[in-house]
Amino acid sequence: MPNALTLTRAGAAAMACGTAFSGRGRRAALVAVLLGCTVCDWLDGPVARRLGPTRLGAVLDLEADSWLTLWGAAAAFRMGGVPAVCLLPPALRYPLSAGSRPGTRPWQRAAGVAQMAVIAAGLTARWRAPRALAVAAAGFQLAALAADGQGVASIGRAEAKGSG
């Protein structure tokens, strides 16, 4: 069940981008999809903890979040709600974190939330993300991605020494 919620979120993110690029994108539909994805994200974790989390579920959750950020940013950019700089963190996520497991430090989660807040606001009809705010959120997320690899490398070294 939790994996189905997570996969639903990933599929909805792809549909949101398709809607935005079709030329018939309706902001209300995109916002509704984003809200639905948010609800699925809030539900899949508690359901997984109750039923017993799995490694696959953890990976699917991270990838669905990344997929949603990428396609949400693309849709918001296409609709004119965010500047192109908002596309950088989700596009660079894989090259910057290649070969490392993602970190779960609170400031990294905050960086992702900040970026999704800018993207979500950029999808609304009444608000266009100020460039400075979008650049700050994107920079915060890029810093989190870059630090992720360093933090994991140091954890790996500690585990190899037997102190992890």
Q: Where along the chain do its domains lie?
A: 2-160
* 43 — pLDDT class (breaks 50, 70, 90): confident
62 touches 7 (CB < 8 A): no
Rounded CA-CA distance 145/25 in Å is 30
Identity of the amino acid at 161: K
Nearest to 125, CA basis, from 80, 70, 87, 84: 80
Cβ neighbour number for residue 39 with a 10 Å cutoff: 12
The percent of residues in the chain predicted with pLDDT above 70, rounded, is: 77
- What is the reported pTM? 0.75
Rounded CA-CA distance 20/74 in Å is 8
Fold observed for domain 2-160: Four Helix Bundle (Hemerythrin (Met), subunit A) (1.20.120)
Which pLDDT does position 127 carry in this prediction?
62
pLDDT digits (tens, 9 = 90+) for 73-102: 888 888 888 888 888 888 887 777 666 665
